[in-house]
A and B are shown apart, each in its own frame.
Chain A
Amino acid sequence: MRDGDPAPRLDEAEVGRIFLEESGRSVAALIRVFGDIDVAEDAVQEAFAVALRKWPGDGVPPNPGGWITTTARNRALDHLRHQARGRELLSEVAMLSPGHDDPGMPEEVGPVPDDRLRLIFTCCHPALSTEAQVALTLRLLGGLSTKEVARSFLVGEATMAGRLVRAKRKIKAARIPYRVPEAHELPDRLRPVLAVVYLVYNAGLTSRAEPGLCAEAIRLGRILATLMPDEPEVAGLLALLLLTESRRASRQRPDGSLVLLGEQDRTRWDRALIEEGQTIVRRCLRRNQPGAYQLQAAINAVHADAPTVEQTDWSQIVALYDHLLAVAPTPVVALNRAIAIGEVQGPAAALALVDELDLDNYHPFHATRADLLRRLGRNSEAAAAYERAAAMAPTEAERDFLRLGGRASR
């Protein structure tokens, strides 16, 4: 039916979008077939180069992902047949998959839904450093270029390329397996996977250079939620990301300074994201197997319900923080719980809790103290706390904002 139909218009940006959507799936499938990450990566890269040449004239095939995977597979086979090491690899592949003894057949590489799941568990194996986990996940699953990954984490391209090479070498030499962990291993093995996705999101949130990372993290979160529908913390993480994302547009002033939750323009919150996030939170509540991500999502869901900061159901938020502190007893959680308690019992109660925390190197700690002291009318102490917070704040805009608070309380 192609004849006569005008080929859909297609430019490089469109191929780029399809690349982001499909490359992780293709790389994952080819790693399964060839058992080699570099072979898979190079072949998928090459298949997209072919697509960039052919699609503008021929039109996008009905199943672009399948086309890319099959093309990449055939390219890889061609290359491997021409190298001694490649022929060795191919004989291993043939041994591993009897029935596919002629891997040259141009059959479609069947979709195995687990491929990307295997890949993310390999990328986030606890034997790899967190830095390597993040880099591999963005590169292999997210389809970001080495340059883009480098820029996201403020390191040079050569440094990032070296990090990726070392990580892949370790996977190969130590034989980090390409498999989904068994049920009894899952709690341990899922933790770094969720942490990587959360880290990617937060990198996007704080880096003005790469807001695309937020979308990337949500995309990874959605993939995980689809592939592991029975894991409550996977759902919790996705809900947390969606609810945080719903406020992203209103959390920064044009100069880059942070707008606190209470001062945000709530009409700018994205209702569709809130609706989606809250639906997931309600499902989690019914399942009743709470974990740290689900509880943080639930707290965000309560905020999203309040049309104004005054109408926030603070006692419910305190209850959720009590629960969160029990499963994740960190000083930062305790600080946020104290802030919520301040909204219910007043600033004196909150200050008493805050002053017990050992967070001297964390600037929000000093900003929180400053705010509580100001509300208690202890102005000179408040001014000193604002000054300490400002001295530690990471951006110029935040420093200015905190100094403004300091002057107001003098």
Chain B
Amino acid sequence: MTQYLLSAHSVEGEARDPMTDEEMQQSYKQLDLLEEEMKSAGAWVFSGRLHQPDTATVVRMAGGEVVTTDGPFVESKEHLGGFYIIEAENLDAALAWASKVTAAIKVPIEVRPFVEAKA
């Protein structure tokens, strides 16, 4: 089994039709069901939705000291909106889950394998 990060990428100001409240409800419901499905299949490891990127804070080393600054690490129009960590047999299985996620939330999903921890 390999662990994969499925990250949901949103593009700020992207010209996609804004969801109506009803569609939003529908999408959340679909995600809940999907998460249940992942859990009962033993694929779900962790998942979470993130606040807007302007809520981010960065700490970094500068001249031997830790400096704290406001804002996301990279200023960009694309940002990480949320993610799943799943366990899957192989890439095809991971892509099948990712397809279900993108069908529910309509943003692109990047699928990336974790380096396997040494046993």
Contacts and interface: CB of A to CB of B under 8 A. Distances in A.
B50 to A, nearest CB: 24
A174 B92 contact: no
A177 B113 contact: no
Contacts of B95: 127
A376 B89 CA distance: 64
B33 interface: no
A138 B70 CA distance: 51
B68 interface: no
B57 interface: no
Contacts of A177: 89-92
A215 interface: no
Contacts of B47: none
Interface in A325-373: none
Contacts of B26: none
A376 B2 CA distance: 66
A173 B92 contact: no
Contacts of A174: 2, 91, 111-113
A309 interface: no
Interface in A248-272: none
Interface centre among B2, B111, B113 (most CB of A within 10 A): B113
A175 interface: yes
Interface residues of B, number: 10
Interface string A164-183: 00000000011111010100
A292 B100 CA distance: 30
Interface centre among B2, B91, B95, B111 (most CB of A within 10 A): B91
Interface string A120-150: 0000010100000000000000000000000
A179 B90 CA distance: 11
Contacts of B2: 174-175
Contacts of A176: 90-92
Interface string B85-108: 000011110010000000000000
A174 B91 CA distance: 6
Interface centre among A125, A174, A177, A179 (most CB of B within 10 A): A174
Contacts of B90: 175-177
Contacts of A179: 92
A128 to B, nearest CB: 10
A175 B111 CA distance: 12
A176 to B, nearest CB: 5
A299 B67 CA distance: 69
A256 B115 CA distance: 51
Contacts of B92: 176-177, 179, 181, 185
Interface string B53-68: 0000000000000000
A127 to B, nearest CB: 6
A181 B95 CA distance: 13
Nearest to A175: B90
A174 B94 CA distance: 9
B54 to A, nearest CB: 32
A176 B95 CA distance: 10
Contacts of B112: 174
Contacts of A173: 113, 115
A65 B94 CA distance: 36
B97 to A, nearest CB: 14
B52 to A, nearest CB: 30
B72 to A, nearest CB: 27
Interface of B: 2, 89-92, 95, 111-113, 115
Going nearest first, the 10 A-B pairs with the smallest beta carbon separation are A177-B90, A175-B90, A174-B113, A174-B91, A176-B91, A175-B2, A173-B113, A175-B91, A177-B92, A127-B91
17 contacts: A125-B91, A127-B91, A127-B95, A173-B113, A173-B115, A174-B91, A174-B111, A174-B112, A174-B113, A175-B2, A175-B91, A175-B113, A176-B91, A176-B92, A177-B89, A177-B91, A177-B92
Given A175-B2, A177-B91, 10 more contacts: A125-B91, A173-B113, A174-B2, A174-B111, A174-B112, A174-B113, A175-B113, A176-B90, A176-B92, A177-B90
